Structure 1
Amino acid sequence: MRLTTIRLDGGTYAGRVTGDRVILLPFRDVGELLASGPDWQERAAGAAAPTVSLAEVEFAPLTPRPEKIICVGVNYADHIAEVGLPTPEHLTIFAKYSRSLIGPYDDILLPPQSHAVDWEVELGVVIGSPVRHADAEQALAAVAGYTVVNDVTMRDWQLRTSQFLQGKTFEASTPVGPFLVTPDEVDHARDLDMTCAVDDSVVQKSTTAAMLFPVGEIISYVSSIITLVPGDLIATGTPAGIGAARKPPVFLSAGQTLRTAIAGLGEQANRCVGSTAA
């Protein structure tokens, strides 16, 4: 099953993608659908009408208002090497807030306060059922599906202190979507090719199989700290190729388009737009 959240008639709707059509569901977004109960898949599969053309929809963030957005750092060996960090013994985790989320084709706002806006292609995991104190197998059973995330990062703000959050959650900076793809369609995203390009230049290329801490371990670890609930979003880390590690460093600028793709999950294209806001 492939789900999405679209903008329509001044609001948003969850939808099920079937061929070249989106079947509108009686929920404001995918997160609300997932929170409707353990039978959310039956609810999503049972709707028959109305429909809109997939080619003409405007995509919203897949889960616009998740209770939690958990991010994993330094989870690919090649990225760890390029930034000169030791291989972690435990997960490095931080958070975002929902105001940072944008749709997969929305503009990325380049804030005037940052001069080092960087890219990070990441596999996104969306939780489908409450999970607490889970082992890896139980953790995977709680996954609703997988999506595409770009953890756009203001590096100069991230590196101001040892805490990442301030560089990771600038408003209107993190594209999510376009689709939630259920685990059965992509084998729990165990080995999916992933790429990130700036305009037509590929800057990151890897596979989800290269993660040090796979999805089941990530969810198990986080669930030992706090209960994960339907609609929660986890970004699982990025491979090598970030702009800050290049010599000299390279960052996003106004007018460029950030293109992010994961095989089987979809792709994003986000134009970078300058801001004059104080």
Structure 2
Amino acid sequence: MKLVTIQTETGPQLGIATNEGILQLDKALGLLPDSAVPRTTEEAIAGGTTAIGKLSAYAARLSEQPAETKAAVWAAPSDLVFGPCVPNPGKIICVGLNYRKHAEETNAPIPQYPILFNKFNNTLNGHLGDVPLPKVSSKVDYEAELVIVIGSPAKYVSKEAALNHVFGYCAVNDVSARDLQLRTQQWLLGKSCDGFSPLGPYLVTADEVGDPNQLEIKLTLNGEVRQHSNTSDMIFYVDEIVSYISQHMTLHPGDIILTGTPEGVVLGLPEDQQVWLKDGDVVTVEIERLGTLTNRFVNEA
């Protein structure tokens, strides 16, 4: 199942991407009430396969309703405003230098342990949302990444059991202000500017994704391919990442983990070829089975 966040005047609402368009769940429940159906992304994640089963059955019921009812609750993606597909993660944990070729292009040693840092909820952004270029940075970069969304509490889990704790996956652009990131040994400042984590468009359940380390991943800048790799190039695979983090902190439903970016970032180019993101640039992240995430970069007001 593909879940989406719809931005409305009353706040974020849960939607389901189907062959008929986006099912607007809040509107649907107003016409066809069902108290057993999860109403929010948080409820869907926490409810796991049981919640997804209820959502699937409810969507099937709606598809059998009269045409006027269906027209009132389904919408074309172009008619909606997308929010981050995980609208309120408890933790945003990031893994740095997790693709071999990316480590090589930045002349960094291959890590022996996952390099962890964090971002905050102020960085969350949605599909087609504008990403502000901070006034205090002149070196903003893109990073296409796979995101793990935790579905059940995980503490001291083995690598073999780790994927059982994953609800699903999505795409992110881990936007990075390199001049701020590299100002000190701590990367947080350059990673945590407002809007620096466009997330989506879909949160795809794990059963639809299959092996998360066999996914094509690509990023284009104004239509030009800049990153094109596969999640099989990760140094630490998804199961290793979840297991490793769980040895040190409890992961809770709705926590998200950004798993690193492949080669092709601006930072990896020779200095005389580095052209940083500028006002009007359009960046698209595409990950196999997870959809296409597009954002425009604009000068901060």
Query: Which range moved further: 63-72 or 242-251?
Result: 242-251
Say whether residues 1:265 and 2:290 are aligned partners.
yes
Q: Does the CA-based 8 Å contact 1:59-1:105 persist in structure 2?
A: yes
Structure 2 residue aligned with 1:79 = 102
CA contact 1:32–1:231 (8 Å) conserved in 2: no
1:205-248: CA deviation from partner (whole Å, max 9, x where unpaired): 10111111010000001111111111111110001111012122
Equivalent residue number for residue 116 of structure 1 = 139
Query: Could you state the TM-score of these two structures normalised by the residue count of structure 1?
Result: 0.94
* 1:20 corresponds to: 20
Distance 1:167 1:23, change over 3 A: same
SS in 1 for 2:23: strand
Which stretches in structure 2 are left out of the alignment for 5+ residues? 27-37, 63-69
How far is the alpha carbon of 1:18 from its aligned partner? 1.6
Q: RMSD value over aligned CA atoms?
A: 1.7
Q: 1:52: which partner in 2?
A: 74
Query: Does the CA contact (< 8 Å) of 1:29 and 1:64 recur in 2?
Result: no
Partner residue, 2:54: 43
Corresponding position of 1:256 = 281
Structure 1 residue 28: deviation in Å?
6.1
Deviation at 1:269, TM superposition (A): 1.3
- Give me the identity figure in percent: 39
| Paired letter, 2:117 | F
Residue 102 of structure 1 aligns with an amino acid whose one-letter code is N
SS in 1 for 2:264: coil
Query: Which residue identity is paired with 1:12?
Result: P
In structure 1, distance between residues paired with 2:104 and 2:242 = 25
**Aligned match of 1:2:** 2
Structure (1/2) with the larger helix percentage = 2
User: How many residues end up aligned between the 2 structures?
Assistant: 276
Aligned structure 1 segments of 4 or more residues deviating by more than 6 angstroms: none
Pair 1:130 & 2:170 matched? no
* Deviation for aligned residue 1:137: 2.4
| 3-state SS in 2 of match to 1:250 | coil
Consecutive unaligned residues of structure 1, counting only runs of 5 or more, are none
Which residue of the partner structure matches residue 208 of structure 2? 185
Q: Which moved more, 1:34-43 or 1:259-268?
A: 34-43
Counterpart of 2:30 in structure 1 is none
Once residues 28 and 224 of structure 1 are traced to their aligned partners in structure 2, the CA distance between those partners, rounded to angstroms, is 32
TM-superposed CA distance for 1:75, in Å, is 0.6
Contact 1:29-1:63 within 8 A present in 2 as well: no
State the alpha-carbon separation in 2 of the partners of residues 101 and 215 from structure 1. 22
- Larger CA deviation: 51-60 vs 19-28: 19-28
1:61 alignment counterpart: 84
Aligned to 1:47, the other structure's residue is in SS state: helix
The superposition leaves residues 110-167 of structure 1 with CA deviations (integer Å, 9 ceiling, x where unpaired) of: 0100000000000011111111111122210111111101100000010011111111
Partners of 1:219 and 1:164 lie apart in 2 by 21
Aligned-partner SS, 2:201:
coil
**TM-score, length basis structure 2:** 0.87
Cα offset, 1:24, TM superposition: 3.2
Counterpart Cα distance in 2 of 1:211 and 1:164 = 20
Distance 1:38 1:230, change over 3 A: farther
Match in the other structure for 2:245: 222
Q: Check conservation: 1:17, 1:54, Cα contact below 8 A.
A: no
Partner deviation per Cα, 1:68-111 (whole Å, 9 max, x = no partner): 00100011110000111111110001001011010021001001
Question: What is the alpha-carbon distance in structure 2 between the residues aligned to residue 97 and residue 262 of structure 1?
Answer: 23
